[in-house]
Chain A
Amino acid sequence: MSQPPPQPPPISILPLATFSPDLYTRAWQSTPHPYLPLIATTHDKTVTVFSLSTFTKHSSLTGGHSRSIRSCAWQPFSSPSSSQTLRLVTGSFDSTAGIWTYNPTTALEKAISSNPTHTEPQEQEEEEEEEEWEFTLVLEGHENEVKSLSFSPSGQFLATCSRDKSIWIWEHLGGEGEEEDWETVAVLSEHDGDVKTVAFAPVFEQGKKRDGRGYGVDCLVSGSYDDTVRVWREDGDGEWGCVSVLTGHEGTVWGVEWERQERQGGRYQRLMTAGAEGRVLVWELKEEEEGDDGDEEGGGNRWGGIPNTMRRSLREEWEVKGELPRVHTREIYSVAWSGETGLVATVGGDGMVVVYQEDLGTGEWRVLGRVEGAHGPYEVNHVVWCRRFDKGGREGEEMLVTTGDDGVVRAWEVRLGE
């Protein structure tokens, strides 16, 4: 058409709050709870849990690890219910993953009641120090530093990855406290280098019916020092295996992020990967017709009831459908894709936070706005979209939370069109 392309909406990214207290050591990652107003930040050998309504410290997890804790993940519940145990898993450089449990009713009450109009938060926090998190279980097995972990949306599977080039998948079989039972379900050693990050794909209603190829519902993706991204699935019989290798990055893949919104037409979620060379690629699964793999064992596309020992042909193909415009001048460490607005944010070694939007008509991505020196001269290690629970927030609004080497966790208000 002869009309000029529509201008991207103006965006304001303003500092909203810093979580207090300052952590004074490099902070690595901040993970919001799926629906409770809590966010957990890893720093040094500790995890500090902050309240999202007051931006102040709620509790901390200490003493469980002998080395730096780099990542943590909340165990999702299949349905929000206050009678279920609040569980956080920590991944540490001491090669173990720790499972921590918290008294459920106290956590929920405290988080809800911790709002600025309530006069007691100080007292409650002091009481809280005695409650503490209980270090319930240690998951050992990796040979060296655990870099990242991720829960499957149902909370059934936990994936941990490590510098030993392997990904371990653990299944939570139930039980409480002493009886907690986790079983090692798979040890996947196909990467050629340090595995930096893992992420399970969100599952939408469409995906819950098993797809025609006979795979299970969950899909795991991993990024590694070997410049590749691998996609892993379960064959419905309990066997996990690599179904695709995504090459395209020219450096370590630091961040992988799934599209968190359901797509029209039942198409599979897209994947975004961020590499050390400064590029962020958007991948899409090539949907194939069922049964055209020409299999060795015949009878379906599974790995087969009879153990298939031949090298499995890669079963899926992912292709690069888009790329974010290059803005960062140094490595990109983390990318976050909002499930609410579809906006994407990246952070990296250059200290910038950049927000992008997809043009739904053309599929092109454009930069909406950026913040330079978000944590001063320090590198920003992690970014995540997070629902706002503070009183200034509108219904369902999201904010950005960035975590930096300065030991400060910052919340940013992001508003379009103002």
Chain B
Amino acid sequence: MASDQQTPQDDPFDSLLHLESQFYTEGYNQGAADGVLAGRIEGRQLGLEKGYQKFLEAGRLYGRAIVWANRLPNRGSSSSPPAPSQISSTTEIEAEKRELPPLPNNPRLEKHITTLYALVETESLSMENTDEAVNDFDDRIKRGQGKAKIIERMVGEKPGGEESGAANKGTTV
């Protein structure tokens, strides 16, 4: 019946007749609202967690790249990474404490390290949440991890980051 034709007799029974659908709608709305809220909370949590993990990994790789880059024997040449302020502070700290041994003079090693640095340079990594940006990030990190493995093997470091001498020959490669 039309809503503007509310005859006095229908009024009191209206709510009774539509009780079921009223409860249903109420329940639905409450559930939806709760769901949206829970979804937001969980999504934010997941986002924070994933974002943290991803950038932690990126930062880790970046840090290793910087240390390796600084250990290259001819660091002053064009193949070394930019951002001189960062580098000089790192070397100062190193000079105060203990010098890490320089890396062997190997053009391939240099290339690998340069590529790694460029891949994980955090300034150029996008923090946007678009598909494209996320894929780009993931791709670079994966390639960076691959590069790090290669460099580790060439330098003689074990995956944990400790050195095991220049042991790249011998019975195990």
* Residue ranges of A at the interface with B (Cβ–Cβ < 8 Å): 136-141, 166, 170, 178-179, 181-190, 237-239, 306-311
- Tell me if B163 is interfacial: C-beta within 8 Å of chain A: no
Determine the distance from Cα of A93 to Cα of B171 in the docked complex, in whole angstroms: 19
Give B contacts to A, CB under 8 Å.
108, 111, 114-115, 117-119, 121, 124, 135-136, 139-140, 142-143, 145-147, 149-150, 153-154, 168-173
Please, which residues of chain B bring their CB within 8 A of the CB of A140?
172-173
Let me know if A187 and B173 touch, CB within 8 A.
no
Give the residue of A184, A190, A307 whose beta carbon is less than 8 angstroms from that of B153: A184
B111, B117, B121, B142: the one contacting A190 at CB < 8 Å is B142
Listed A/B pairs (9) with beta-carbon separation below 8 Å: A136-B171, A170-B173, A184-B150, A184-B173, A187-B149, A238-B108, A306-B118, A307-B119, A309-B140
Q: How far is the CA of A239 from the CA of B112 in the complex (A)?
A: 9
Q: Given contacts A139-B173, A179-B169, A181-B169, is CB(A309)–CB(B119) below 8 Å? A: yes
Residues of B within 8 A of A166 (CB): 146
In the docked arrangement, what's the CA distance between A140 and B171, Å? 11
Asked whether A310 lies within 8 Å of B136 as measured between CB atoms, the reply is yes
Known: A185-B150, A189-B142. A137 touches B114 (CB 8 A): no
* Contact, CB under 8 Å: A138 / B172: yes
Query: In the bound complex, what is the Cα–Cα distance between A310 and B132 (angstroms)?
Result: 11
Distance between A110 CB and nearest chain B CB, rounded to angstroms: 27
Residues of A within 8 A of B140 (CB): 309, 311
The answer to whether B149 touches A184, judged by C-beta atoms less than 8 angstroms apart, is: yes
Find chain A residues with CB under 8 A from B153 CB: 141, 183-184
Contacts of B172 in A (CB 8 A): 137-138, 140
Question: B150, A186: Cβ atoms under 8 Å?
Answer: yes
Nearest-CB residue, chain B, relative to A240: B146
Which residues from chain A contact B119 at a C-beta distance below 8 Å? 307, 309
Report the Cα distance A238→B109, complex, angstroms.
11
CB-CB under 8 A for A237 and B146, given A182-B173, A307-B118, A311-B136: no
A187 to B147, CA, bound (A): 7
Q: How many A-B residue pairs have CB under 8 A?
A: 66
5 more A-B residue pairs beyond the given contacts A189-B142, A308-B118, with a C-beta to C-beta distance below 8 A? A184-B154, A184-B173, A238-B108, A306-B118, A307-B119
**A185 CA to B171 CA, complexed, in Å:** 18
Q: How many angstroms between the C-alpha atoms of A189 and B148 in the bound complex?
A: 13
Q: Is the CB of A137 within 8 A of B118?
A: no
For the complex, give the distance between the alpha carbons of A139 and B149 in Å: 14
Nearest B residue (CB) for A135: B171
- Cβ distance A268 to chain B, nearest Cβ, rounded Å: 26
Compute how far the CA of A203 lies from the CA of B171 in the bound complex, rounded to whole angstroms.
31
Inter-chain contact A138/B150, CB cutoff 8 Å: no
Is the pair A187, B146 in contact by a Cβ cutoff of 8 Å?
A: yes
Given contacts A138-B173, A186-B146, contact A309 B154 (CB under 8 A): no
The verdict on A309 contacting B124 (CB below 8 Å), with A139-B173, A141-B153, A190-B142 known, is yes
Q: A190-B142, A309-B119, A311-B135 are in contact. Are A141 and B149 (CB under 8 A)?
A: yes
Residues from chain B with a CB closer than 8 A to the CB of A179 are 169
Q: Across the two chains, which residue of chain A brings its CB closest to B149? A: A187
Nearest-neighbour CB distance to chain A for B81, whole angstroms, equals 10
**Closest approach, in angstroms, between the C-beta of B153 and any C-beta of chain A?**
5
Which of B114, B139, B170 sits near A307, CB closer than 8 Å? B114
A138–B171 touching, CB < 8 Å: yes
With the chains together, A306 CA to B81 CA distance in Å?
Answer: 11
Please tell me which one of the listed residues A137, A187, A238, A311 contacts residue B139 in the complex, with CB atoms under 8 A apart. Answer: A311
Q: Within the assembled complex, what's the spacing in Å between the Cα atoms of A239 and B147?
A: 10
In the complex, residue of chain A having the shortest beta-carbon distance to the beta carbon of B124: A309
Cα distance, A138 to B139, chains bound together (Å): 29
Q: Using Cβ atoms and an 8 Å threshold, which residues of chain A touch B111?
A: 237-239
Cβ distance A309 to chain B, nearest Cβ, rounded Å: 5
Closest 10 CB pairs of A and B: A307-B118, A187-B146, A307-B115, A184-B153, A189-B142, A309-B118, A187-B149, A311-B136, A184-B150, A138-B172
Which residues of B have CB within 8 Å of A190?
A: 139, 142
Nearest residue (CB) in B for A185 is B150
Chain B residue with minimal CB distance to A170?
B173
Return B65 CB to nearest CB of chain A, in Å: 11
Query: Residues of A contacting B171 with CB < 8 Å?
Result: 136-138
Bound CA span A108–B114, Å: 46
- Please name the residue on chain A nearest to B142 by beta carbon: A189
What residue of chain B has the Cβ atom nearest to residue A140's Cβ?
B172
Q: A282 vs B144: C-alpha distance in the bound complex, in angstroms?
A: 34
By the criterion CB–CB under 8 Å, are A183 and B114 in contact? Answer: no
CA distance A308 to B135 in the complex (A): 16
